[in-house]
Amino acid sequence: MQILVEVPAHMPDAAQCSPQQFMQDAKLAMAVKLFEMKRLSSAMAASLWSKNS
């Protein structure tokens, strides 16, 4: 499955990182949040984050 999230072009600069790093950080944040919400196990969250990172 693929999820498309549109963000303003200036967002990576505002976060002081490259677009690639911003994308990886956003993916990690989503995995962590879903784990915190008990929607994913730690193994599933790790798998989500590491997939295509």
Is 37 within a domain? yes
Name the amino acid, one letter, at 45: A
- Tally of domains within the chain: 1
Domain-located, residue 11: no
10 located within any domain? no
The contacts of residue 24 (CB under 8 Å, 6+ apart) are 53
Range of the domain at 24: 17-50
Q: Give the C-alpha separation, 21 to 12, whole Å.
A: 8
| 1 or 39: which leads in pLDDT | 39
Q: The tokens 């999820």 sit on which residue?
A: 3
pLDDT tens for each residue of 5-18: 999 999 999 999 99
CA gap 25, 12 in Å, rounded: 10
- With tokens 């915190």, the residue in question is 36
In a domain, 38, yes or no: yes
Per-residue pLDDT tens for 17-36? 999 999 999 999 999 999 99
